[in-house]
Chain A
Amino acid sequence: MAGPEWVDEVLLRGPDAQVCLHVDGPVNRAALRRMVAERRARLEAAGLRAGGSLVLRLPPSLAFVANLLAGWRIGAQVALLDHRLTPFEVGAALDRLAPQVVVAPGAVRGNPLRAFADVEETTTPHPGRPAATPHAVIQLSSGSTGPSKVIGRTAADLIAEVDRYTRIDGVPLPGERIVVLASMVHVLGLVGALLYGLHAGVQVRPPERLTGDSVLDAVAAETSPATVLGVPFHIGLLASVAEPPRLPQLKRMTTGGELVPAATATAFLDKYGVPLGNMWGMTEVGVIATDLFGAHRPALTPAPGLAVVERAGELLVSRPESPYVGLSDPTRWSDGWLHTRDAGVVDPDTGLVTIKGRLDSQVSVGGLKVDLTEVEATLTALPGVEAAVVLHDEAITGYVQLAPGVSVDAVRAGLAERLAGYKRPRQLHVLAAMPRTTTGKLVRDRSVLRQAPRQGR
């Protein structure tokens, strides 16, 4: 097990003057080390110790980076909460995680289009418990049944993933740049950009804003080669820029989170003339397989050191320990194999992996995982909702039957209290009566639901 020195040795080490981050200006390693030391003092003053527990509820920001590294450097366990969660969801998470210190945004300056927020954080003691497990990072997944799953990764596991990245052909090289569009609160941006970049000497640079022009400005800002890392939504931003400048520094765009249709990849290639790379990963493992040259689309090559097999149509990935905290479920992890819940095949000759879709009700909204059963259970539990079905039909769509006198606006307000915006149904259709089978079960066939009689709006 790696001691807290891993933060210095694997991430922070390097020449003082080397620019490792670029957020509204260059941040060199000396400056980053100062920021981490300053946050470390604040966290220790709030009572955080080695083996303690910390929750970070910050948008991607320098404050997020500095507090994360400081928490790890102290030897504490750091749980990451998406800043878009509602107060209701945050309350449930804090009850569950029982951290000893919470870092949250005090003042957030600027606008929601910024890729990195300008945050002044508050650091507050919280009546919690020391870390119950040796994990360095804790993340919550959108839960399929009951409460969300708690996913833990040790420092050794994070270091192993950083090492995997260094051995994948096509990743940004030392001296190059990553223009990061994916959120650093989630695994792709966290390890694929921040931790790998700090380790390898690749400058991590969020664009000023998440618009197509701003992303291209970030690429054009320096002459060193740049890789754009994001989710498929971001391909759309770049592919719809009207007249992009010629950018010899643009080396590649790589996305994770969900499959990219071939037509989208072709449109991107036609416009920019550089490869569109593809990655498959999970919060539980990090990067699993890649196709960074777009050579095998939609197939992927397993990352070095990982094995992927197919069993009964499901893809399993090697993982020595279960990533789940307080959960023993052999249908999710057993005997060194993690069940990905992704359907797929592994080519016996080449080892290439092709994903065929989800085996459960998880969908991806802009790269964020949402379990539709969580949305449906939340909707069904609201007062005045008699029955509900939630489907993914281009976007998350809800069908509800309401008690007499209950308005759809009241239901929307209830959802807004309990679910982060990206999880909420974009369409909410009120039906006179939910279609049911002869045995009384709710019908989930979208064509039936689409045609069921509506009860006004």
Chain B
Amino acid sequence: MRTPDHPAADRGARASGPAPGRDEIVAMLAGLDGRSVRDVSESIESMELAWLLHQVEQRYGVRVELDEDQYGRMTTIDDAVDVLREAIGAA
């Protein structure tokens, strides 16, 4: 079941830096279905991508605008860290 069990609780941690780091991204992905951080896969599939960008928008209070190249690169957690730093980190 990919329904967040306690979605409201996800907002506990507000953005700590200009863009999310690896640990924050892993925690956001874990929030999708309540799995443990240890069980979050390195690769990011389409529904996880939508969830991640939605979570970043909520926590950082920004609209994340990515170009096609950036979307294409969002395939692993490390790539997501880089792309999100490019997209919102400099703001």
> With A233-B47, A236-B32, A395-B35 given, is the CB distance from A267 to B7 under 8 Å?
yes
Cross-chain contact of B1 among A241, A261, A427 (Cβ < 8 A): A261
The distance from the CB of A238 to the nearest CB of chain B, in whole angstroms, is 9
B2 touches A422 (CB 8 A): no
A212 to B47, CA, bound (A): 13
Proximity bits, A416-441, B CB within 8 Å = 1, else 0:
00000110101100000000000000
The distance from the CB of A234 to the nearest CB of chain B, in whole angstroms, is 9
> With A395-B35, A422-B46 given, is the CB distance from A366 to B2 under 8 Å?
yes
A122 to chain B: which residues have CB within 8 Å?
A: none
State whether the Cβ of B21 lies closer than 8 Å to any Cβ in chain A.
no
From residue 245 to 297 of chain A, which have CB atoms closer than 8 A to chain B?
Answer: 258-261, 263-264, 267, 270-271
B1 touches A267 (CB 8 A): no
Proximity bits, A219-252, B CB within 8 Å = 1, else 0:
0000000000000110111011110000000000
B7 touches A240 (CB 8 A): yes
A236 touches B51 (CB 8 A): yes
From residue 1 to 18 of chain B, which have CB atoms closer than 8 A to chain A?
Answer: 1-8, 10-11
B47 touches A365 (CB 8 A): yes
A261 to chain B: which residues have CB within 8 Å?
A: 1, 3, 5
A421 to chain B: which residues have CB within 8 Å?
A: 45-46
A264 touches B7 (CB 8 A): yes
State whether the Cβ of A210 lies closer than 8 Å to any Cβ in chain B.
yes
State whether the Cβ of B53 lies closer than 8 Å to any Cβ in chain A.
yes
From residue 48 to 91 of chain B, which have CB atoms closer than 8 A to chain A?
Answer: 49-51, 53-55, 57-59, 61, 63, 66-68, 71
B2 touches A263 (CB 8 A): no
Closest to B4 in A: A236
B41 to chain A: which residues have CB within 8 Å?
A: 395, 426-427
> With A213-B63, A394-B35 given, is the CB distance from A240 to B54 under 8 Å?
yes
The distance from the CB of A215 to the nearest CB of chain B, in whole angstroms, is 9
A240 touches B63 (CB 8 A): no
> With A233-B2, A421-B46 given, is the CB distance from A111 to B58 under 8 Å?
no
A210 touches B50 (CB 8 A): yes
A236 to B30, CA, bound (A): 13
From residue 81 to 97 of chain A, which have CB atoms closer than 8 A to chain B?
Answer: 84
A258 to B3, CA, bound (A): 10
The distance from the CB of A290 to the nearest CB of chain B, in whole angstroms, is 19
B50 to chain A: which residues have CB within 8 Å?
A: 112-113, 210-211, 237
From residue 350 to 396 of chain A, which have CB atoms closer than 8 A to chain B?
Answer: 364-366, 394-395
The distance from the CB of A86 to the nearest CB of chain B, in whole angstroms, is 13
B35 to chain A: which residues have CB within 8 Å?
A: 394-395
A263 to B50, CA, bound (A): 22
A258 to chain B: which residues have CB within 8 Å?
A: 1, 3
The distance from the CB of A269 to the nearest CB of chain B, in whole angstroms, is 12
A233 to chain B: which residues have CB within 8 Å?
A: 2-3, 47, 51
Question: Chain B CB within 10 Å — which of A112, A271, A422 has the most?
Answer: A112
B71 touches A264 (CB 8 A): no
A394 to chain B: which residues have CB within 8 Å?
A: 1, 33-35, 39
B1 touches A240 (CB 8 A): no
B5 touches A395 (CB 8 A): no
B63 to chain A: which residues have CB within 8 Å?
A: 213
B3 touches A241 (CB 8 A): no
B8 touches A264 (CB 8 A): no
> With A233-B47, A239-B8 given, is the CB distance from A213 to B33 under 8 Å?
no
Cross-chain contact of B6 among A84, A232, A267, A427 (Cβ < 8 A): A267
B53 touches A113 (CB 8 A): yes
B61 to chain A: which residues have CB within 8 Å?
A: 242
Closest to B1 in A: A258
Cross-chain contact of B55 among A240, A259, A270, A366 (Cβ < 8 A): A240
A111 touches B7 (CB 8 A): no
A260 to chain B: which residues have CB within 8 Å?
A: 3
* A-B complex: 6 closest residue pairs judged by Cβ atoms: A236-B4, A239-B7, A232-B3, A240-B7, A211-B54, A426-B41
Q: List 24 A-B contacts (CB under 8 A).
A: A210-B50, A210-B54, A211-B54, A211-B57, A212-B54, A213-B58, A232-B1, A233-B3, A233-B51, A236-B2, A236-B7, A239-B8, A240-B4, A240-B8, A241-B58, A242-B11, A242-B61, A270-B8, A366-B2, A394-B34, A395-B33, A421-B46, A422-B46, A427-B41
If A264-B4, A395-B39 are given as contacts, then 8 extra A-B residue pairs at C-beta distance below 8 Å, sorted by A number, are A112-B46, A113-B50, A232-B1, A239-B8, A394-B34, A424-B45, A426-B41, A426-B45
